[in-house]
Structure 1
Amino acid sequence: MGNWFKRNGTHFAIIGIFIVICFLYFTPAFQGKTLGQNDVTRAQSTQKEIMDYRAKDTTILWTNQIFGGMPTYQIWAPYTNNITTHIIDGLKTVFPAPVDTVLLLLLGAYFLFCVLELNPWLAAAGAIAVTFSSYNFIILLAGHANQAYAIAFFAPILASILLTLRGKYFTGATLTALFLAIEIRANHIQMTYYLMLAILVLVIFEIYNAIKNKTTGSFFKAVGYLGAATLLALAVNASTLWSTADYAGDSLRGKSNLTKNAKEPSNGLDKDYAYEWSEGIGETFTILVPNLYGGGSSTLYSLDNTSNVAKAFTSKGVPEDQAINYVQQLGSVGLSTYWGDKTFTEGPFYFGAIVVFLFVLGLFIVKNRLKWWLLAAVILSFLLSYGRNLSFFSDLFFNYFPLYNKFRVVESIMVIAALCFPILAFLAVNEIIVTKDRTEIFKKLKIALYIVGGVTLLLAAAPDMFFTFKTAQHQQIIDYLTQAFKGDSGFANSIANAIVQDRISLARMDAIRSLVLVLITFGILWAFIKQKFNATVLSLIILAATLFDMWQIDKRYLKEDAFVAKTDVQKPQPREVDNIILRDKDPDYRVFDLTQPVNQDFITPYFHKSIGGYSAARLKRIQEVFDNQFSKSVNQDVLDMLNTKYIITQDPKNQTLSMQVNSGACGHAWFVKNVRYVDNADQEMQVISSFSPKEEAIVDKKFRSMIDEKQTGVDPNATIELTSYSPDHMVYQSGSTATQIAVFSEIYYDKGWKMLIDGKEAPYFRANYLLRAAQLPVGNHKIEFIFHPASYYTGEGISLAGSILLVLALGGVVYTENKKKAAKA
């Protein structure tokens, strides 16, 4: 045991350094503070009902809190039979967020560089470069915890695949299964999809090399092991994946139900929606010069009295102490140092000036065949990140590549390049260390300097020669400012020109900074080539320089003041109208808030069951209703059938909120007098535009077989009422002297909901485009709707079996590796 610690002492020292780095960067997290993340705040309203029941030790797989009702698979579900659920929970217990994620990024990347056979200190430097890539810290700040967690397992998955391809079949495949299982459990399918794209490119290159080197036998053996590992990882996550796949077709990303007047695409996401966050082609250079495009949308608030825009105000006689306040107020009209065409951004993709320089050097000197895969993956990543800015290429994938049109924020595929750049960069340093002929290396080093140093020098000397530093709305902002300044167009133009000069200044300063870092790196490598110090010292210097470079930029975004005491985490606060509505003890009424965007409402659902909400995984049908029934004017009939008991409005004059009681709300369930059949979804949508939901039900003719029309009658004195409420178990009591059609103000979803009449399963169907309906027999009956999706419960059984197999495989790896070491000893 003592020898084992001695052999691995350097690794333990590096892990200790990683923990120290995390402590220094995230000191507030160790003090019990947390990030005040916007998306986390929004998620609280989405999860409110789920967490309320969880506090009672009850798990619900359906929530009525948002969008009238939807499954919880993409919001929160326990998946307790999945071993990786407990692994993730354990990691989160040991270290506070986001330290757990950052440590995983560091350790995973370190493992990858060790597999690539770099010395430990150089591997540590590479791990820092991967981890501190600005996007990782920006998404942590924004609250995209699942996305960051998914990215953290990119490196160890790749490392495990490489081990398998090298002939360590069982060990590599088992580790691949483990890390891929955790990756999938992180439940950010988009990030996993991008990783699979990169791995697909790797496989293509490996097939070529196997054929070229006549090693197809070992290659396909490795592929067989990796295939088994993938199946095991899928089995471990069977419940997660099956539930997601089951729901996907009915979600916003599924096929459109409408053929006419469909604002949603026939399949997948709307292209404009998917491409909304596309990387500008020129914006790519922020990987080298972070403030080339002005930083984040809120960077304007960091400008001080020395800025050109502040001086423009003081030149008009505005006191200096007031000038900065005016500068910050400009952000409210869309004037920002960020001048790209994204709706907004928290910050740029910055890979590091040192990393970019070493990457370019690697293109010339690295002999490892992975170089060509890394370059291909980087190019693909860049091209797809451009989205609408390179639509002819992106559209090929969007229209023809499986599942690609299910994802938005296409710029995020640059996470692949953010991994590939450091890999090739530090392979380049390793090449310098191991190569004996350093004369040729130095020639290539100078070429890399001329390229990267030349670009940064040009951007430092004359950035406005290559970029306009003006937004597409530059003239509109001038027009707005002219109006705000009471027709003073000269002053408006001076403000607009001043912000352009500030953007240029920010770009120039960062270009100079990057140039200095490139020159320093060149000098360090030159000194090593001249044998001024050894490989360990070189690695430590590169580590320190990389950390200095990335730390400085990350601190522009994820700062200490981003942390707040847990008691101060911003939560939606009840408004006076909310407090009034909350006096209603009815467990299942709905609220429609006209003061909030229906698809971005994270206030109302925190207190009430809402028509709106905040989730990109909402049902397709509810979105189609929003588009067709709420876009021009609000359809009162639809509100009534959804049991919308309260409507919140705002006085346009004094902005005060008020609450209206909707007397037309249909209630939890009701009997209708007649059924009107329609041919398809288009007709159904058209008819519900104007109908009487209390009197009739609009039903697609495909459900006609579920209704015995000869038996159907009308009892005006019939009753049906909700007697017990749980989001996934609704109980009603009906009484009628005739067989009648009942409509329930609950969202129809046939993949898991079962209806029982007096304990026996009975059929139900869809009515009014969104709701459940059923034919109920004569007499007094207990009607239950129970949500028991096979995709979850059967999937949990498969997950348990997969988890057991994974644990056994990991045990087998430990046993065989120890046996090999014992044999060598």
Structure 2
Amino acid sequence: MNNWIKRNGGHLIVAAIFFVLTYAYFLNPIMQGKILYQGDVLQAKAMQKEIMDVKEKTGHAPLWTNQMFGGMPSYQIWAKYGKNLTTYVIDGLKGIFPNPVDTVLLYLFGAYMLFNTLGLKRWLAAAGAVAFAFSSYNFIYIEAGHANQAYAIAFFAPLVAGIIMTLRGQYILGASLTAFFLAMEIRSNHVQMTYYLVLALIILVFIELYHAIKAKTTAQFFKAIAYLSVGTIIAVLVNAGSLWTTYEYSKLTIRGKPNLKSETTAQSTGLTKDYAYLWSESPTEIFTFFIPNAYGGSSSTTMGEDSKVAKALIDKGVDPGQAQQFASQLPLYWGNKPSTVGPWYFGAVVFFFFVLGLIIIKNRIKWWLLGAVLLSVFLSFGKNLPFISDLFFDYFPLYNKFRAVESTLVIASLCFPILAFLALNEVFENPDKAYIFAKAKLAFYITGGITLLMIVLPGLVLSFKGTEHQNLINNLAQLFRGDMGAANSVAGALVEDRQTLERQDAIRTLIFIAIAFGLVWIVIKQKINTTFAAIVVLGVVLIDMWSVDKRYLKDDTFVSSDVINQAYVPREVDEFIMRDKDPNFRVMDLSLSDPFHDSHSSYFYKTVGGFHPARLRRFDEIVENQFSKSVNHDVLDMLNTKYIITADPKTGTANMQTNNTACGNAWFVKSVKYVSGADQEMQAISSFDPKNEAMIDQSFKKTVEAKTLGYDANSSIKLVSYEPEHLVYQSGSMANQVAIFSEIFYDKGWKMLIDGVEQPYYRANYVLRAATIPVGNHKVEFIFHPASYYTGENISLAGSVLLILALGGAVYTERKKTQPAKA
């Protein structure tokens, strides 16, 4: 044990520093018992309400919830994959460490593992880990509540480390670690982040293949690929339950193929380009990589009392208080994204060493890093570089399923510090100090020169005017009663404020670049040893990154638990509705600004609206065609919308009205009208009597008329027992009749039983379930038992066992290698 501590003492010290840094960053909130206020997490709390309530009551989390959009699978809301080993690893991390300490520690330790794998000495690896972990968007994702996204990013570095180990000949250890970290990556359940990493890894593999062919070592290369393939298969098996359900469900969501021909285009699967490209990086916005406020910071960034806008308004006779208030409302962020929490800042020190790395690194890994950076940057431009973006959107599998294309920059945020610290390692290790110093001067002239230009003449490079600048001037002119001179004066002052903000950060960047270059000079002149220099670099990088991160993930972002709980304080109308004991009615809350992109009401009761980025495509088409221009009351009735909430246009007070024409949980219809195709079906429900007639696609006709249909005016069918995954109805009729159920049709797991015997059901009214119920009194049940989950879970168990065996085998093999050979 003492020998182990002696061998690994340095790593333990680094680990202790990581813990200290992470807890220090969140010290005040932790000490005060505060919780991170995350908008997306609050949305998720409402989405998960029914799931968590049932889980608390029964111990089982249902795989279906009716809380939003009339009903949907819970796979992408909350699902327990209990036979997946990685579930317990993640639960353990979240149980031991407070949020978001666990995420930052994963950032740090994962990157530290990668830098050690790349051969960097301990303190240089620690500095590189800090540079990656504190990259601005790693913290911005935490602030925004993108917990899964942050976790997925945290496993990038150790996964790359496992792959590089394998490619360098550590087959068993590398493949086992690859399997584990890929399993963790997949379990993080953010396919978009994983997809972007795969794109980068494809570049790595092709570069490795090229060099293997060149060096005539293809046998070793393909051996490594074979081991990595086995590791990948194990990781996929471990996550079979989540992957299978996600794949099955995704095809029927807004990321799948449209059902309506009117919405079908040449590229008809996935998101629309307008939606996918909404958050596209402007080409010159990459200046934020090293000057954080080059584009004005976040959408909520405001200038202080000395703003040029306030002074311009005061000069026009506006009261100083009003001038300051008005100035604070004008946007300093001037990019073309709808909004932003903050910039993609990789660090001034990292930027200098990255450029130095492009000059002095000869290792083939440089070309992988450069290729991955260029690809991620070009793709992040989205609509601003359609030639490349459209190529991927139209032809690369799955790429069109993802929105916010600026997120591709997560790859650049990984590659920048890797190349930067490989360059610094070269500075430390290369004996030709004259060569290194000459190249360092060149890197300083490039980075310092660009930054100096951004201080002296920023307007030469950036316009500081957003796409809506002219509209802003026109609006200001209206406020000044047509005085265009005053409007242009204020708009010009806003441009000056933006330049001031950029110039301040550019000066800051130049200082850090000068410090980085100075450190190189000191090392080359052998004024300090490389260990101390690495520690100094760690400190400088930390100061640089920490100060920017604190602009976005700061102590004010944390609030007391009371504030979180007050986010869901019921209104008077909510309390009235919640007194209704009917187990499965719905509410349409039109008092929300957009009831189909807000889950707030779903916390209290089942809603027609809600929020989820992967809602069912058919329901989304209902929203677009039946609710976007005006609310179709017939559709509300068939969805059993018992209450409608509106807002008083003057006071904003929520008002409620009871919908007496709601059809109920289930009912028999008098007649069936057959339609051909989704477009006719959508048109048919635009105006119909849902209580008495059903619109059914022609493809279901044989199932509908398997028995001779009739109609009994005295028949009845009612819901007698409700659980999200198990609905029980009691029917009584003197004829075979078509029953409509106000439940969303989803045939990937729902089965219907009549008196315990499974029977066919079908779709009606575009999104609902229907069935032909035979004459007599019957017990009708709908049970949700998806094979994709339950069979997938059993596969996950087998995969988890294989993963444990692989890791155990790797540990045994490595220990055997380290044991001294016996004579």
**TM-score, reference length from structure 2:** 0.98
Matches within 5 A, 1:543-692: 543-569=538-564, 571-596=567-592, 597-692=594-689
User: Which runs of structure 2 are paired with 1:49-88 in the superposition (5 Å)?
Assistant: 49-56=50-57, 57-88=59-90
Name which of 761, 764, 768 aligns with 1:767. Answer: 764
* Shift, 1:482, TM fit: 2.7
From the superposition, tell whether residues 824 and 520 of structure 1 become closer, same or farther in structure 2 (CA, over 3 Å): farther
The superposition leaves residues 191-233 of structure 1 with CA deviations (integer Å, 9 ceiling, x where unpaired) of 0000111101100101101100000001100000000000000
How far, CA to CA, are the matches of 2:445 and 2:677 in structure 1? 65
Aligned residue for 1:172, secondary structure, equals helix
Distance 1:425 1:419, change over 3 A: same
Post-superposition CA distance 1:485-539 (Å, at most 9, x none): 4444444333222221110001111111111111111111011111111110111
Q: Does 1:418 align with 2:413?
A: yes
Query: Are the counterparts in 1 of residues 707 and 736 from structure 2 also a CA contact under 8 Å?
Result: no
Shift of residue 823 of structure 1?
2.9
- CA offset digits 1:743-780 (Å, max 9, x no partner): 00000000000101111111000000000000011111
Give the C-alpha shift of residue 656 in structure 1. Answer: 2.7
Aligned to 2:492: 497
- Which residue is 2:167 aligned to? 165
Matched, 1:482 2:477: yes
Retained in 2: the 8 A contact 1:273–1:408? yes
Contact 2:68–2:599 (CA under 8 A) maintained in structure 1? no
Q: Deviations over 1:18-37 (max 9, x none)?
A: 11101111113432221111
Q: Do residues 304 (structure 1) and 304 (structure 2) align?
A: yes
Identity of aligned residues (%): 60
Structure 2 Cα separation of the partners of residues 322 and 653 of structure 1:
25
1:230 equivalent in alignment to 2:238: no
- 1:131 aligns to 2:133 (yes or no): yes
1:806 matches 2:808: no
Query: Cα 1:824–1:413, aligned 2, differ >3 Å: closer, same or farther?
Result: farther
Q: What corresponds to 1:183 in structure 2?
A: 185
Matched, 1:734 2:731: yes
Which residue of the partner structure matches residue 47 of structure 2? 46
1:715 aligns with 2:712: yes
Which of residues 181, 185, 201 is equivalent to 2:203?
201
- The Cα shift of 1:246 comes to 0.7
* Residue matched to 1:470: 465
How far does residue 640 in structure 1 lie from its aligned partner after superposition?
Answer: 0.7
Q: 1-side partners of 2:278 and 2:84: how far apart?
A: 35
Question: Letter of the aligned partner of 2:804 in structure 1?
Answer: V
**1:107 counterpart residue number:** 109
Partner of 2:444: 449
Letter aligned with residue 544 of structure 1 = G
> In structure 2, how many angstroms separate the alpha carbons of the residues matched to 1:564 and 1:571?
12
Q: Give the equivalent residue in structure 1 for 2:787.
A: 790
Q: Deviations over 1:526-564 (max 9, x none)?
A: 111111111101111111111111011111111111111
TM superposition shift of 1:318: 5.0
User: CA shift at 1:433, angstroms?
Assistant: 1.1
Distance (Å, rounded) in 2 between the aligned partners of 1:798 and 1:664:
47
**Deviations 1:425-470, CA, capped at 9 Å, x for gaps:** 0000111111111111111111111111110010010101111101
CA deviation after TM superposition for structure 1 residue 312, in Å: 2.5
* 1:537 matched residue in structure 2: 532
- What is the rounded CA distance, in whole Å, between the counterparts of 2:725 and 2:682 in structure 1? 27
Matched with 2:435 is 440
Q: 1:726 & 1:263 partners in 2: Cα distance?
A: 40
Relative distance call for 1:320 and 1:632 in structure 2 (3 A) is closer
In structure 2, the residue matched to 1:34 is 35
Could you list the per-position Cα deviations for residues 325-381 of structure 1 after superposition, in whole angstroms to 9, with x for gaps in the alignment? 3333x2xxxx31100000000000000011011011001111221000100000000
SS of residue matched to 1:102:
helix
Q: Which amino acid aligns with 1:136?
A: N
User: What is the deviation of 1:817?
Assistant: 1.5
258-267 vs 625-634, greater mean Cα deviation: 258-267
State the match for 1:513 in structure 2. Answer: 508
CA distance in 1, matches of 2:476, 2:154: 45
Amino acid at match of 1:283: E
Among 676, 701, 706, the alignment partner of 2:703 is 706
Write the distance in 1 (CA, Å) between the matches of 2:747 and 2:28: 47
| 1:21 aligned partner, one-letter code | L
1:313 aligns with 2:313: yes
Q: Specify the alignment match of 1:405 in structure 2.
A: 400
Answer yes or no: is the 8 Å Cα contact 2:29–2:555 preserved in 1.
Answer: no
Q: CA deviation at 1:392?
A: 1.2
1:95 to 94, 97, 108: 97
TM (norm. structure 1) is 0.97
Deviations 1:150-196 (A, max 9, x none): 00000000000000111110110000000000100000000000011
Q: Deviations over 1:46-66 (max 9, x none)?
A: 111111112212210001011
Query: Which amino acid letter does the alignment assign opposite residue 810 of structure 2?
Result: V
Aligned to 2:21: 21
SS of the residue corresponding to residue 261 of structure 2 reads coil
Q: CA deviation at 1:710?
A: 5.4
Q: How many residues align?
A: 818
Q: Distance in 1 between matches of 2:488 and 2:609?
A: 41
Question: 1:237-276 residue pairs with structure 2 within 5 A?
Answer: 237-260=239-262, 266-276=268-278
Q: CA deviation at 1:662?
A: 1.0
Q: Secondary structure at the match of 2:262?
A: coil
SS in structure 2 of the partner of residue 591 of structure 1: strand
> 2:374 pairs with 379, 384, 390, which one?
379
Structure 1 residues 263 and 663: CA distance shift in structure 2, 3 A: farther
Deviations 1:553-607 (A, max 9, x none): 1111111111112232252332222122122111111111122213212221111
Say if 1:256 and 1:264, in contact at 8 Å, map to a contact too: no
CA distance in 2, matches of 1:392, 1:743: 49
Match of 1:55, SS?
Answer: helix
Is this contact kept in 2: 1:255–1:265, CA < 8 A?
no
Q: C-alpha separation between the residues in 2 aligned to 1:42 and 1:491?
A: 42
Q: Aligned equivalents of 1:621 and 1:265: distance in 2?
A: 18
The residue identity in structure 1 corresponding to 2:82 is: T
The CA RMSD measured in Å over matched residues stands at 1.4
In 2, Cα distance between the equivalents of 1:24 and 1:532?
31
Which residue, 126, 134, 151 being the options, matches 2:153? 151
**Aligned residue identity for 1:64:** N
What is the alpha-carbon distance in structure 2 between the residues aligned to residue 42 and residue 710 of structure 1?
A: 46
Secondary structure, aligned partner of 2:662: coil
1:677/1:699 contact within 8 Å kept: yes
Distance 1:390 1:750 in 2: 40
Instruction: State the one-letter code of the partner of 2:35.
Output: T
Secondary structure of the structure 2 residue equivalent to 1:223 = helix
Residue 12 of structure 1 and its aligned partner are, at CA, apart by 0.3
> How far does residue 655 in structure 1 lie from its aligned partner after superposition?
2.8
Q: Note the residue ranges of structure 2 that are not aligned, 5 or more in a row.
A: none
Equivalent position of 1:213 in the other structure: 215
